Each structure stands twice: as structure tokens, then as C-alpha cells.
Amino acid sequence: MQRIIIDTDPGQDDAVAILLALASPEIEVLGVTCVAGNVPLARTARNARVVLELAGADIPVFAGCDRPITRDLLTAEHVHGPSGLDGADLPEPTLPLQPQHAVDFLIHTLRREPPGTVTLCPLGPLTNIATALRRAPDIAPRIRQIVLMGGAYFEVGNITPAAEFNIHVDPEAAEIVLKSGVDVVMVPLDVTHRVLTTRARIAAIRAIGTRVAGVVADWLAFFERFDETKYGSDGAPLHDPCVIAWLLRPDLFAGRRINVEIETQSPLTRGMTVADWWRVTDRAPNATFLGQVDAEGFYSLLTERLARLRP
């Protein structure tokens, strides 16, 4: 059993990642912490509860940081729509938001649980994670692993020519996480751009025939339109579910343990993940940076698991 906390900025792809985790008995979701990213915090905190209610899951949801550590918030409504979950009309959530701040939940949970038993799965800007590490450095050795969606190397950037969105929004937070000494696994655009939501793959999800699967197919049909236009591809990269898929089936992925540094100074390359893939520096390895994925295996896993969500 993998016991995880999902830190997220839903976002249709975040939503599918949460559903994949909920559908997988190998995983226990201790809580969902929300961060400002794709859309402002009030919406990500709402959207996370919408997703959990769609799956009939009663898991605590916490609101976290509403802006990056030092910078102004940058959002991505142009990709996800103004609600952040455009594509399907779902009712307002009745699941309450927890009164505790997400950063306090992270700290208290990591101090309470046995060391090395909780994995953090950030799917958005790393503001909550970095704030917890700064406020409570003692939690770093207690974290089993941080498996995050973010960064890019061979694939280059998606929000700027140099940077991937999650890292670009809060590069200082990413730097704190990568210098924390915690065992970090990065799922970058190099991987997520190989798992495109093609027409056939969306049709296979819709063919499951459940309400959840229909909503997922509608979300993906909306979510992909921006990247299809931008890249001229059949389908869009399905970023965040790759994090959960790695937990379930790491054999579907390949990467290498290398040094990754974050650009925080240059306006031109802010948020660039400078991955020493070819080990040309003497900088110490600090992350497992993934570069390959079995796309068919990923979608088979995702589709099979989504079919298990029956409400």
C-alpha cells in the first residue's frame, strides 16, 4: 500500500490523476491539498472536491497557498477554461473544505506518520510543498518520496520556450524542493508529451459507459483543444496522471538519476529545469528525471482503472 498526499491545481489532467489514484487499491490517499496554479486557489479547492464527489470519495481536502512564494500568480485559463474544469457541467460540491491550511496538514501528517511512509504527489506549482519544507525542515527526512509532474529538458517548455508551467509559476518553490535532499522523481514534459489523448484513446474511455468515464472523456475533449491547435497533434499531452501511473507501474517508464537545477534569476528562462542528462557537470544527482514511457501501457492502465469507478 502506497500512502500518498496529492497536491494539486485541478485542472482536467489533475482531475484524471486523482481519479486514477482513487480507482487503485494499491494507493491510499491521505488527503488532497490544493494550490493556486491552473486557476486561482478558490477554484482549485472547489474543483478538487467536485472530482472527489464525482468518484464518491470522502477524502479530506485542504486549501493551501493562493500565490507563489515570491512572485505574482500566473494561471492557465486559456488551457483549462475559466472554471479550470471546463468540458463537463458538474454540481457544486457538498464535500466541505477542511479548516486546516494545506501546509499545516502536510507538516502535521508527516510528523504523525512513521518516517518514510508518506509519498507526496505534487501536480501543480510546488508552493505548498516548499512552504512546508521551509516552515518545518524536520519533515524532509520523513518524506518517503516526492513524485511530481513538472519540468522539461528535450521537450523544452510549454508556457515559455524554456519552462514548463508548474515550475515556471513558482521557480523558487521548485528550487527549495530540489535542494531539500528528499528523494525526488520528476515526470517532465519529455514523458507527458508522449501520452497524447488521441481520438481513439478518448473513445475507449467513453466506451466504458459509466458517468465517471463520460465526464473524463468530456474533460479531455475540452482540455486537448488548446494543445492540438498549438502542436498540430491528434490529442494533447495528459500530464498529471503520469505521476500516479508511475507509482502503480514504474516499469512503464524510464529515466535516470541526475542533477536538476532551476533557473530563478533570468526573466528569459525563468523556471527552466536545467537537467544534467549527459552528466557533464560535477553537480550531485538530486532527482530521478524520467524520459520514456510506454504510452499504450499507460492508457491501458488508465482505462482499466477508470472502469472500476462505478458511482
123 lies in the site for ligand RIB, by CB under 6 A: yes
CA dihedral angle for residue 66, residue 223, residue 212, residue 74, rounded to 10 degrees:
0
Point out the catalytic residue in the list 80, 168, 193, 239: 239
- Partner in contact with 227, chosen from Ca ion, ligand RIB, none, beta carbon below 5 to 8 Å by kind: none
Label each residue of the chain as H, E or C. Answer: CEEEEEEECCCHHHHHHHHHHHCCCCEEEEEEEECCCCCCHHHHHHHHHHHHHHCCCCCCEEECCCCCCCCCCCCCHHHHCCCCCCCCCCCCCCCCCCCCCHHHHHHHHHHHCCCCCEEEEECCCCHHHHHHHHHCHHHHHHEEEEEEECCCCCCCCCCCCCCCHHHHHCHHHHHHHHCCCCCEEEECHHHHCCCECCHHHHHHHHCCCCHHHHHHHHHHHHHHHHHHHHHCCCCCECCCHHHHHHHHCHHHEEEEEECEEECCCCCCCCCCEEECCCCCCCCCCCEEEEEEECHHHHHHHHHHHHCCCCC
Considering only residues 228 through 247, tell me which ones interact with Ca ion, judged by CB under 5 A.
240
Contact track, ligand RIB, 26-65, x by CB under 6 A: -----------xx---------------------------
7 lies in the site for Ca ion, by CB under 5 A: no
Minimum distance of ligand RIB from residue 218's CB (angstroms): 17
CB 23 within 8 A of CB 310: no
Q: Which stretch binds Ca ion (CB under 5 A): 3-11, 45-53, 181-189, 277-285?
A: 3-11
Give the residue with the Cβ less far from ligand RIB, 33 or 107: 33
193 lies in the site for ligand RIB, by CB under 6 A: no
# residues near Ca ion by CB under 5 A: 6
Minimum distance of ligand RIB from residue 126's CB (angstroms): 11
124 lies in the site for Ca ion, by CB under 5 A: yes
14 lies in the site for Ca ion, by CB under 5 A: yes
190 lies in the site for ligand RIB, by CB under 6 A: no
Minimum distance of Ca ion from residue 13's CB (angstroms): 6
Q: Which stretch binds ligand RIB (CB under 6 A): 5-13, 199-207, 214-222, 261-269?
A: 5-13
Minimum distance of ligand RIB from residue 8's CB (angstroms): 8
Show Cβ contacts of residue 96 under 8 Å, excluding neighbours closer than 6 positions: none
Task: Tell me the three cell numbers of residue 38.
Answer: 491552473
Active site residue 239: yes
Give the residue with the Cβ less far from Ca ion, 239 or 270: 239
127 lies in the site for ligand RIB, by CB under 6 A: no
35 lies in the site for Ca ion, by CB under 5 A: no
239 lies in the site for ligand RIB, by CB under 6 A: yes
Which amino acids are annotated catalytic?
239
Site residues for Ca ion per CB under 5 A? 9, 11, 14, 123-124, 240
Site residues for ligand RIB per CB under 6 A? 9, 11, 13-14, 37-38, 123-124, 149, 158, 164-166, 239-240
